[in-house]
Amino acid sequence: MKLDDKKILLSALLHDFGKVLERTKEYQMRELPHDLKVTDTYAHPKYSAFFIRVLRENRENLSDFLKENLTEEVEELVLTHHNPVNDYGLIIQIADWLASSEREESEKEKDYYINTPLSAPFKRVDETAEELSYPLSNLSNIVPKKREEIHIDKNAYSTLLNPLLSKFSKVNDIEQLLTLYEFYLSQVPAQTTGYLPDISIYDHSRITSALAHILYRDYIEGLISKDDLK
């Protein structure tokens, strides 16, 4: 498997992108390529891998950076990050686990998962603070509101995601991808069921990528072994 720093970072950044795609409901599982549909994993890795495959199949429209680094190996790491098939997959999985370790379990969130907004953090630092949430929006609208004032559905996800998709193929480096993520995904909850939805896709993805890169460097430099990863 041919990997390097950029490919590990891309794999980690894109591992949960399928969550946003799936919430638009524009892509049905039955429409995915057969090999993705039958993979034994959750739905969102399949959508993440599908996104990468579509880009790779239309590589003439990609930036040189994406042509070089958005490879079959990256697609495989994204698809199997819950069920790794090699050491690099274990690195992504461990980084994902570590980045998720601060999630607080919640029995309060009963909304249909698509309708759940990102919770504002104020209540966690001040119990007397009002419970507020963020609208599903890019960073042009960052003012939190009362939950009942926020309406989120599949159309809201499509409206948010489409401008990001139109820009994605022109990404020239990791920093540009992080900027896109920050602008469009900072108010998209990473987890909408079973946990307090107060961590965004952007924050979870950037933390996962940073941890994965550290583990990858330690692994290739011999500071940690395959047994350590297990």
What range defines the domain where residue 68 resides?
5-110+154-229
Residue 180 lies in a domain: yes
Cα–Cα distance measured from residue 133 to residue 73, given in angstroms and rounded to the nearest whole number: 37
| Closest alpha carbon to 4 in 220, 224, 223, 170 | 220
94-102: long-range contacts (C-beta < 8 A, 24 or more apart)? 94/211, 94/212, 94/215, 94/229, 95/12, 95/208, 95/209, 95/211, 95/212, 95/215, 96/12, 96/15, 96/208, 98/208, 98/211, 99/204, 99/207, 99/208, 99/211, 100/190, 100/191, 100/204, 102/199
Please list the residues that pair with 200 across neighbouring strands.
189
Residue 135 lies in a domain: no
Residue 59 lies in a domain: yes
Residue 119 lies in a domain: no
Residue 44 DSSP code: H
Whether the Cβ atoms of residue 161 and residue 171 lie closer than 8 Å to each other: no
* Confidence band of 102 (pLDDT split at 50, 70, 90): low
* Confidence band of 28 (pLDDT split at 50, 70, 90): confident
Whether the Cβ atoms of residue 209 and residue 9 lie closer than 8 Å to each other: yes
Residue type, position 67, single letter: K
Q: How far, rounded to the nearest angstrom, does the alpha carbon of residue 85 sit from its chain's CA centroid? A: 20
Residue 186 lies in a domain: yes
* Confidence band of 109 (pLDDT split at 50, 70, 90): very low
* Confidence band of 146 (pLDDT split at 50, 70, 90): very high
Cα–Cα distance measured from residue 193 to residue 115, given in angstroms and rounded to the nearest whole number: 11
Residue 188 lies in a domain: yes
Residue 93 lies in a domain: yes
Cα–Cα distance measured from residue 126 to residue 41, given in angstroms and rounded to the nearest whole number: 38
Residue 91 lies in a domain: yes
Reported pTM: 0.92
State phi, psi for 52 to the nearest 5 degrees: -65, -40
Q: Give the pLDDT confidence of 152-173 residue by residue, as tens digits.
A: 999 999 999 999 999 999 999 9
Place of tokens 């992108």: 17
- Number of domains present in the structure of the chain: 1
Tally the residues of the chain: 230
Mean pLDDT of the region 180-191: 97
Query: Is 134 in a helix, a strand, or coil?
Result: strand
In the chain, what percentage of residues exceed pLDDT 90?
A: 79
